[in-house]
Amino acid sequence: MLIVGRVIRPHGVRGEVVVELRTDDPASRFVPGTVFVTDPPDHGPLTLEYARQHTTAGKERLLCALEEVPGRDEAEDLRGVFLGVEVDEIEDLDDPDEFHDHQLVGLAVMVDGEKVGEIVRVVHGPAHDQLVVRRPGASDALVPFVTAIVPEVDVKGGKIIVTPPGGLFDL
C-alpha cells in the first residue's frame, strides 16, 4: 500500500474530513470513486465521493467526502487514519534516491555488518523522514532518513546501511 494521505480531523457536520497530503499527485490520487485502503485496516475500505482544495495556515490540504462517512461522528472516528492505494497501482520513481514507504518497510537495518533491527514504518516530518526501526529486546528507534546517517539503501538486497551517531541505538 502507498500512503497518499492522513485524516487530520472532521470538517463541518456533513462528514467531510481534512486530509493531509502524502502524495505529489493529488489530482490523480483523489478522484471520485477511488477506493482507499486504510491503516488501521478496520476503518476501511473508504470510497471517495469528492475532494476539494483547502488551505489552512499556509498548508495545502484536501477536504474529502467519503461515501461511508455520513456525518461528523463517523468522520471523528477517522482522525489519524492513513489513506492508501494498492501497491500494484504505483508507478516506479525516476530518482534512484527516492523510495516509496512500502519499499522500505521490512528492510533489515545493518550497522557495521550486523543486523540491529527492521524498518516497520516511515514517519514523514517537515524537515526529513524518519525510519521506525523495531529492535529485538529493545524499544523502537527513530532513524533520521538522511544520507549522512543512511548512506545506502539496497531494496533488492533487503537491507539499509546505517552509520548512526553515538547513542542512536542505545537502550
- Residue 8 is predicted with a pLDDT of 92
Q: CB-based burial of residue 113 (10 Å sphere; 0-12 exposed, 13-18 middle, 19+ buried)?
A: exposed
- Residue 89 is predicted with a pLDDT of 54
- List CB contacts of 58: < 8 A, sequence separation 6 or more: none
- Residue 171 is predicted with a pLDDT of 54
- Residue 47 is predicted with a pLDDT of 96
Residue-range domain boundaries for the chain: 2-89, 101-161
Specify the amino acid at residue 115.
K
- Residue 83 is predicted with a pLDDT of 92
CATH class of the domain defined by 101-161:
mainly beta
- Residue 91 is predicted with a pLDDT of 60
- Residue 115 is predicted with a pLDDT of 92
Sign of the dihedral through C-alpha 56, 58, 59, 63 = positive
Tens-digit pLDDT profile for residues 114-151: 999 999 888 777 778 889 999 988 888 889 998 899 99
Tell me how far CA of residue 71 lies from CA of 12, 18, 19, 38, 62, in angstroms.
9, 14, 16, 19, 17
Architecture per CATH, 2-89: Beta Barrel (2.40)
Query: What parts of the chain have a pLDDT lower than 70?
Result: 1, 87-97, 171
Identify which of 86, 75, 104, 71 has the alpha carbon closest to the alpha carbon of residue 37.
86
